[in-house]
Structure 1
Amino acid sequence: MRVLVTGATGFLGGVVARELAVSGHEVRGLGRDAVRGRALEADGVHFVPLDLRDQPALMGLIAEADAVVHSAARSTLWGRWADFYADNVEVSAAVARACAGAGVRLIHISTPSVYNATGQTRNIPETTPIGPRFDSLYARSKYLAELEVQAAHPEATLLRPRGIYGPGDTSILPRLALALRVGRLPRLDGRGEVHTELTHVRNVSQAVGLALARPAPGLFNITDGVTIPIWATLDRLADALAVPRPTRQANPRALEGVARILEAVYALHPRRSEPPLTASGVRLLTRGMTLDLTRARQRLDYLPVLHPDQGLQEAIAEAAGQAAAHA
């Protein structure tokens, strides 16, 4: 099968493109990072440098594919709405329209961040009503993208993987490792342990492969299928880094209030980088989330290929190794 993967120079897209190539598919990977593009070529992925806002070029590439995995996105908790809308909503809509017009299968990568403001935290199903409030511009843009994709391409598969981690991750564990190393992370579990679910990048790739082999339209939650304790995991990470475990207690609500003030100040200068503290970031460490995987298990035959016991152990070891290399 000829598969086009957007965001192939990113974390998830790179893993998906490589694993699809290993599985025998003819894979084209789109991205803007030439160095990572050369690495993709070395692993059997044909790299095509492209800005996804270049719609004529993108449409031509989609027309030559049998399937598209749209994993590219502006994935951050901070930024301007205009950029989120252009990169996440408009591009996703264009990809979906092109795929539908050319009869090309589409697997769209979304996020369970759309559930954050629903008030639900345990065993959340895909049928959960969402909006009109969202806890971040990112979540809002990804939900609007889902609506555009479903309207343009009703047969598309939309995956909502929770907290993607694994080799090559530049977001979750590396950022937490840095916060631990500089002693910036307070203890926010005053009311008890916070339980959540994560998803190893190989498990997301597994779900993509299943969606290609067994087409199933609609939304699907994806996780490792196992609940993990956030603060116990952070203690494990601190031990691996050989730094003190966080002990300085802070009130989560008060800290979230401080974060909102910082966000308001930083918003006055839109080109300024992300503030050192965001309300969404605080909530990720203080509000757990587990997802109902029934649909994925029944319709995609989804079964995680990597258990978090192994996946987290490897990811923590990698984070510790990176920290030692930069010490």
Structure 2
Amino acid sequence: MRILVTGAAGFVGSAVVKDLVDAGHRVIGLVRSAAAAGMLATLGAEAYAADLRERDSLRAALARADGVIHTAFNHDFSQFRANCEADRDVIEFLGGELTGSDRPLIVTSAIGVLPKHGLVTEATDAVPLSDAAANPRAASEIAADAVAELGVPVSIVRLPPSVHGEGDRAFVPTLIDIARAKGFSAYVGNGENRWPAVHRCDAARLYRLAAERASTHARFHAVAEQGIPLRNIATAIGTGLDLPVAPIDAEAALNHFGWFNHFAAMDIRASSAETRRNLGWSPGGSTLLEDLAAGVYFGGS
């Protein structure tokens, strides 16, 4: 297959590109810089210069593709809701262009859009966007559902809070930066709130399997570990930075974590049993705590 990958130079997207190429697929990766184009070339992929807002260029790239894997997302949390709405628009556009064909569309969502109680599964519905307290990230799934109604074979890959590995610049590095700034590694309360996790290479393989299967209206969980207590993550960070580890209460957490407090307090357990059964996916990468112990997160500490 010739597969178009958005966000191809990103932490997850570049792993997806490598996995696709290694499996014998041809890849067109959307990029916005010469440096990103060069990186894709080293992976054996074709770079295509385009911005997701430039619909004519995007349409031209789509015309050459047998399927699309959409990993691009703007993670600027200062305008999170606007970024989620922009992602909704992109998914609707991609779906409209693919309507009438059998070309698969794989979109990205987050485990964090699911209810924060019990064990969530692939069948668990995302929080409705109409709910004032809902995570606006659910817009991506709502858009994917609308595209599926058009007959496009759409699959949703839900990523956990930690997609880890060398080069990660997301949630775990944020906790590390906060610990450095505050002088200690903290967790809230007893630290039993949990984050699911997956290694980026395992997540990449799941995207490929989803594209090859070309399911209709399917949801997959890129979850290798159902839930790691934040106390354990904070302890590993303290060890890596040679800093003390301490619990803090909910009131102190607001000051300690700032804008990241919502994520530091997130408590969710997620199953990937159906994903493993339906796709034959078997994650085998290192665990999050193994990555932290290996020191790849603490360069320059």
1:276-315 matched pairs, under 5 angstroms: 277-278=258-259, 281-308=260-287, 311-315=288-292
Contact 2:105/2:155 (<8 A) preserved: yes
Instruction: Give 2:187's aligned residue.
Output: 188
Distance in 1 (alpha carbons) for counterparts of 2:169 and 2:33? 15
Distance in 2 (alpha carbons) for counterparts of 1:79 and 1:188? 26
Helix, strand or coil at the partner of 1:298: helix
1:85-234 matched pairs, under 5 angstroms: 85-86=85-86, 88-115=87-114, 118=115, 120-129=116-125, 130-131=127-128, 132-133=130-131, 138-163=136-161, 164-183=163-182, 187-217=186-216, 218-234=218-234
TM-score after normalising by structure 1 = 0.81
Instruction: Give 1:14's aligned residue.
Output: 14
Contact 1:5/1:28 (<8 A) preserved: yes
C-alpha spacing 1:90/1:301, structure 2 compared with 1 (3 Å)? same
Aligned-partner residue type, residue 98 of structure 2: C
Instruction: Give 2:5's aligned residue.
Output: 5
How far residue 128 of structure 1 moved from its aligned partner, in angstroms, is 2.8
Instruction: Give 2:68's aligned residue.
Output: 68
C-alpha spacing 1:101/1:75, structure 2 compared with 1 (3 Å)? farther
Instruction: Give 1:272's aligned residue.
Output: none
Gaps of 5+ in 2: none
Contact 1:111/1:142 (<8 A) preserved: no
Distance in 2 (alpha carbons) for counterparts of 1:50 and 1:106? 18
Percent identity of paired positions between Structure 1 and Structure 2: 23
C-alpha spacing 1:128/1:253, structure 2 compared with 1 (3 Å)? farther
Distance in 1 (alpha carbons) for counterparts of 2:179 and 2:107? 34
How far residue 138 of structure 1 moved from its aligned partner, in angstroms, is 4.5
List, as ranges, runs of 4+ consecutive aligned residues in structure 1 with deviation greater than 6 Å.
none
How far residue 28 of structure 1 moved from its aligned partner, in angstroms, is 0.9
Distance in 1 (alpha carbons) for counterparts of 2:169 and 2:151? 31
Give the length in aligned residue pairs.
296
TM-score after normalising by structure 2 = 0.87
Distance in 2 (alpha carbons) for counterparts of 1:296 and 1:95? 24
Instruction: Give 1:266's aligned residue.
Output: none
How far residue 76 of structure 1 moved from its aligned partner, in angstroms, is 4.2
Aligned-partner residue type, residue 320 of structure 1: F
Distance in 2 (alpha carbons) for counterparts of 1:213 and 1:240? 39
Contact 1:63/1:99 (<8 A) preserved: no
Distance in 1 (alpha carbons) for counterparts of 2:184 and 2:51? 36
Instruction: Give 1:54's aligned residue.
Output: 54
Distance in 1 (alpha carbons) for counterparts of 2:197 and 2:74? 20
Distance in 1 (alpha carbons) for counterparts of 2:59 and 2:204? 24
Deviations 1:256-286 (A, max 9, x none): 5x69xxxxxxxxxxxxxxxx722xx223222
